[in-house]
Amino acid sequence: MQADSLLEGFESYFETELLPELQEIEAGRPRAMKIFMAAVVAAVLVFCAAAYFILSRRMADPQVMIFVGVGCVGIGALGLRPLSNLQKQAKNRIMTALCGHLGLHYQMKPAHQPVSTFKNLRLVPGHNKRKIEDRVYGQVKGADFNMFEAKLIQESRDSKGRKSSRTVFRGLLSHFDFHKQFSGTTIIRKDRTAIGNFFDGAFASGERVKLEDPEFERLFEVYATDQVEARYLLTPTFMERIKQLAALVGTENLQLAFDRGNLYLSIRKPGDSFEGGSMFSSFADPGRVYSSARELALIYDIAEVLRLELATRV
């Protein structure tokens, strides 16, 4: 499904209702930009003054310089806050309107969302801290649907008690409940060559599934606890759609699993989703809506293909 067809009938609403609201938000940009530029100038002046004071007294202590640098960055961040708040307002308004048009619901800052199943299916790495935002949920083509953006973090401490953290996953996690009973578990992940597949297979549920599509076999490895069911689920149409999705998001970023009547989808992404554009570009730009619609169109495609396939196969 293309973004244009997804937005059919939305254009008139955008022009008459949404655009005036976005223009009102955009009207706050000049003041926000003045605050930001003033903060940048202040940060530069503080840094230069501090550097002159430190160097003139030969106090070039690295820790002092770091402290000054952090302080200047903090000044800049405070100055950027009004512009960032305007961007959040525009994003919330666009996503709420767009999801409402599709019969879905949107939450910018949702409450706790379940990640444990994704972890148990090895669709995301182990972690001990998470940040969740941008939840889209409702029904898509008769399937219960829940999607959210997740940033998963692994925190640890060394022998001296110093804490460190690293982001182990950032991207979209989606869950479809098709109200169909699958008897087994089927996991689809990037093909990691013979050695990688050997180690993956040692920890995967079920056995490796050989499929008739050579290109799909080259891109992905499939493990299933029920070989017959896996082949019913992985129809030529569905495999073709997954290949198209992989071409858009990158094969290495896409993982899926069927489990107990549900489909779980993990898409690793380098940046935030549904932003629609930079905070330095116009909030009233229609391109912001189409950018977000294109991301949602991918999800609609998957749901539509599976609904048609599962209606007769499972």
Write out pLDDT tens, residues 204-238. 568 899 888 899 999 999 999 999 889 888 888 88
How many CB atoms neighbour CB 115 within 10 A?
18
| CA pair distance 143, 303, nearest whole angstrom | 7
Contact 86, 28 (CB under 8 A): yes
Report yes or no: 173 and 147 within 8 Å, Cβ to Cβ. Answer: yes
Percent of the chain with pLDDT strictly greater than 70 = 87
Mean pLDDT, rounded, for 44-64: 76
pLDDT given at position 59: 62
- Read off the tokens for 212: 């008739």
Reported as a single tens digit per residue, the pLDDT across 153-212 is: 999 888 888 888 999 999 999 998 887 777 889 999 987 654 444 444 444 568 899 888
Rounded Cα distance, 129 and 152, in Å: 6
- Contact at 8 Å (CB) between 94 and 18? yes
Q: Which is nearest to 19 in space by CA: 274, 280, 285, 276?
A: 285
Cα 145 off chain centre by? 15
pLDDT tens, residue by residue, 67-106: 778 888 888 889 999 999 999 999 899 889 888 888 889 9
The two structure tokens encoding residue 178? 């098709």
pLDDT at 178 (0 to 100): 81
Instruction: Give the span between the Cα atoms of 300 and 85, in whole angstroms.
Output: 30
pLDDT, position 99: 86
CA pseudo-torsion sign 88, 94, 98, 101 = positive
Sheet holding 163-177, edge to edge: 104-107, 129-140, 143-157, 163-177, 262-268, 254-259, 185-190, 220-224, 207-208
**pLDDT score for 295:** 72
Q: Mention every residue, 6+ apart, whose C-beta is less than 8 A from residue 158.
A: 164
Contacts of 228 (CB under 8 A, 6+ apart): none
Q: pTM value? A: 0.82
**pLDDT category, 50, cuts 50, 70, 90?**
confident
